Structure formats: structure tokens, C-alpha cells
Amino acid sequence: MKILKNSFYVLNIILIIFYLYPGSIMGCFLYNDCYIQPQLTRDFLVSSNHFYVFFILSAIGFLSFSKDLKKISYYLISLSILLELLHIIIPIRSFEVADLLGNILGVLLSLILFKLFIFRRLK
């Protein structure tokens, strides 16, 4: 469990750096252009990149802190909202509702699946 918690902390730091960087760190490395954001899959009603990132981060968070599920849920939802709102003031970045919804949906779907898994395990 210690490795999982440490992974969660490291992923949090990486996520915050990527979110607060004015431009695209991945675009700088992959395309040699910090203005291009790589896209894993097409967006639906929500941003797929944001959904994937918050789904994975949340899954690791819920596994790491399963005894404090309420606290980690509040933290992840707050983080997803705060990071997207900060795009309003970061140069070259912009606030987008689809990104915010992708963040929140990633956290919520991860939470639902985690609770279903726990529920099935208890039966």
C-alpha cells in the first residue's frame, strides 16, 4: 500500500505541474510545439484526456485511501474543479466546461466502480 500511496502523491504533483504549465508539456516533447495538445481519443460531450487522467488518478487515490473514502472524494472533486478554474488566469490556457466535466466525470465514475467493487467483495 505504501507504493500505491507514494504513486498517488507523485501523480498529484505531476498533474498539478501539467495543469499549471502555460502551454502543453506533452506537445513540447511529442511535437516540438508547446501550443499543440496531444489528443488520445476524440472528445465526446466531455474532454476525453481530462476524463482519463482523473479516472486513473481517482482509482489510485481510492485504492490508496479506501478507509478515508469521503475525504479523498472531496479532495479529488475539489482538485478537479480548482485546476480547471485556474486555467482562467494561466496564460495560453483557457477554462472549458467540457474539460471540467471530464475531470468530474472521471472522479465520479472511478468512485462508482470502486464502490461497486467493494460491494461485490462484501457479498
Q: How many residues does the chain have?
A: 123
For residue range 88-106, list pLDDT tens digits in order.
998 888 899 999 999 999 9
Q: What percent of the chain has pLDDT over 70?
A: 86
To the nearest 10°, report the CA torsion of 71, 22, 33, 37: 40
Rounded CA Rg of the chain: 15
Would the pTM count as exceeding 0.75?
Answer: yes
